[in-house]
Amino acid sequence: MSAAPQLVVHRDKELMAQAAAARLITKIVDAQSARGSASVVLTGGRNGNGLLAALAAAPARDAIDWGRLDLWWGDERFLPDGDPERNYTQAREALLDSVPLDPRRVHPMPASDGPFEADAAAEAYAAELANAAGPEDHGEVPTFDVLMLGVGPDTHVASLFPELPAVRETERMVVGVHGAPKPPPTRITLTLSAIRSAREVWLLAAGEDKANAAAIALSGAGEVQAPAAGAYGRSRTLWLLDAAAASQLPSSLYPPAIA
């Protein structure tokens, strides 16, 4: 099953980040109430970190039971632990270091100064995911409640770049990426198969430099040429945009009002 994308367009990127943070708080609280815990996949990039910073500033963040939240990552820049360009480092700074998470439930992707090179690190992360998947899940990864993805100006999501082998992968859940066009060239990423195991996939796109990517991905492009087009959730696919990122969408897709 796949979910046709729903679009929500906000006035600007600050409001988008605040509204997305409010939405995420509600999702996590609802999942914890329904299932006892919640699982969220974080994204790197400007929009993902903006959302985390907005969450850190939201008084309602205290509604979340942080000790019953599992955190995973959609991709990682394969750099040494603590490198300021690592998605994990940036998420810590934006939010994670200021909330009482259970460290056993926080699952950063491996760093380049650990025991693995990128492909082996991807395998290790796939094993960690498989270990967390239960019989109620649909395969080799847990059924994430929310999986967030920043959308790059070239339509990449996670570290799935147009035309590179990772976006064509159909068997493995996590792969190493070599020769990425955006630095650093070596990365680790969930594949589209892993992404599609999430209940909800949220794509975040704010800023004029995302307008072309959003228009292409939402206008029927193929996932190999436009990876964002292949990212969808089991029950919901939500594009959260600001007006600048929505400015090139075909009028048939553009919602009637800006929230």
Ligand X SMILES: O=C1O[C@H](COP(=O)(O)O)[C@@H](O)[C@H](O)[C@H]1O
Q: Is 159 in the site for ligand X (CB under 6 A)?
A: yes
Q: Is 152 in the site for ligand X (CB under 6 A)?
A: yes
Q: Is 75 in the site for ligand X (CB under 6 A)?
A: yes
**Cβ-proximal residue to ligand X, closest one:** 45
Which listed residue (19, 22, 23, 46) binds ligand X by CB under 6 A? 46
Rounded to whole angstroms, how far apart are CA atoms 207 and 47?
A: 9
Which listed residue (5, 24, 41, 44) binds ligand X by CB under 6 A? 44
Q: Is 5 in the site for ligand X (CB under 6 A)?
A: no
Q: Is 142 in the site for ligand X (CB under 6 A)?
A: no
Q: Is 242 in the site for ligand X (CB under 6 A)?
A: no
What are the CB-based long-range contacts (under 8 Å, 24+) for 122-127?
122/172, 122/174, 122/175, 122/176, 122/188, 122/189, 123/174, 125/174, 125/188, 126/172, 126/173, 126/174
Which listed residue (39, 47, 186, 191) binds ligand X by CB under 6 A? 47
68 or 182: CB nearest ligand X: 182
Query: What track of x and - describes contact with ligand X for positions 169 through 198 (by CB under 6 A)?
Result: -------------x----------------
Strand partners, 241: 9, 205
Q: Is 77 in the site for ligand X (CB under 6 A)?
A: yes
Binding segment (CB under 6 A) for ligand X, from list 63-71, 108-116, 150-158, 239-247: 150-158
Angle, in degrees to the nearest 10, between helices 45-57 and 13-35: 70
Size of the site for ligand X (CB under 6 A): 15
Q: Is 230 in the site for ligand X (CB under 6 A)?
A: no
Q: Is 45 in the site for ligand X (CB under 6 A)?
A: yes
Q: Is 18 in the site for ligand X (CB under 6 A)?
A: no
Closest to 10 measured CA to CA, from 198, 238, 252: 238
Rounded to whole angstroms, how far apart are CA atoms 207 and 160?
A: 20
Burial of residue 36, with CB atoms counted within 10 A of its CB: 0-12 exposed, 13-18 middle, 19 or more buried: exposed
Which listed residue (28, 38, 39, 43) binds ligand X by CB under 6 A? 43
User: Residue 24 is encoded by which pair of tokens?
Assistant: 């995420």
Residue 153 near residue 248, CB atoms below 8 Å? no
> Closest separation between CB of residue 77 and ligand X, Å?
6
**Residue ranges binding ligand X (CB under 6 A):** 43-48, 75, 77, 87, 149-150, 152, 158-159, 182
